[in-house]
Amino acid sequence: MKKAVLLIFPVILLFNACALEIANVIGPGGGYVYYDKGNYKDGWRYKECSPYDIGELKNVEVDELKRALKLCEDQSDEWYRYPWELPDDADMKKMLECFSYGLTRFSPDYYYLSLSVNQPATYNYKDPSTWEVVILHKSFASKANGEVEKVTTQKDDKGNTIFDDNGNITLLDSKGVAIKGNPVIRVRPVRKF
């Protein structure tokens, strides 16, 4: 009987807490719940973000993006229906709206990788060469107005990311000004349940 109570209790707690404030609810993957769709259409209702960053990227070239996918895959449970995956910028905005009212769960010292919701028609999640990458400014989690500050990579005339002699990229802020230093781009996965 005790075992049944322990298994049922988190579900009841999750349901009741989400009705009040989902930001303080822990999902089945141990992550923080940031989104409630309101129904179970397509087999899921909530989204959670990992409680911690799972890695850093040196740049946003295809090999590093493949490594980001592998980091998410390594976090996933084989038995669980929905794997951990990279967030898109809409996920990041939802996280910001949810967590700006409580303890911020993102470091203010880093940038965060996400994908654009406006992906090209050829977009394939398993193929990073088809991605439109969005990097979010390190201060996005502390903004109270819910706006996500996007950062871009410096590109040449053909639209390719420019690398220096050490293989580092230059990030540009929303005004197109180069951000000094070698930026650290963090990976924070999300998943549905």
* Each residue's pLDDT tens digit, 24-71: 788 988 888 999 999 999 999 999 999 888 999 877 778 889 999 999
Residue 119 lies in a domain: yes
Q: What pLDDT is stored for residue 176 in this prediction?
A: 77
Residue 73's domain comprises 55-188
DSSP structure class, residue 160: P
First to last CA, the chain: 26
Query: Residue 43 falls within a domain, yes or no?
Result: no
| pLDDT for 9 | 37
Whether 5 is in a domain gets the answer no
Q: Is residue 193 part of a domain?
A: no
Within-domain flag for 24 = no
Q: Which residue has the higher pLDDT, 145 or 95?
A: 95
The reply to whether 99 falls in a domain is yes
Question: Does the structure show a pLDDT above 80 at 191?
Answer: yes
Q: What is the mean pLDDT of the chain?
A: 75
Cα separation, 189 vs 81, whole angstroms: 15
Distance CA 172, CA 134 (A): 12
Tally of domains within the chain: 1
- In this predicted structure, the answer to whether residue 144 has a pLDDT above a threshold of 60 is no
Kindly state the average pLDDT of the residues 113-132.
Answer: 87
Residue 92 lies in a domain: yes
Q: What percent of the chain has pLDDT above 90? A: 23
- Please determine, for residue 125, whether its predicted confidence score (pLDDT) is greater than 60: yes
Distance CA 47, CA 88 (A): 12
Whether 42 maps to a domain, the answer reads no
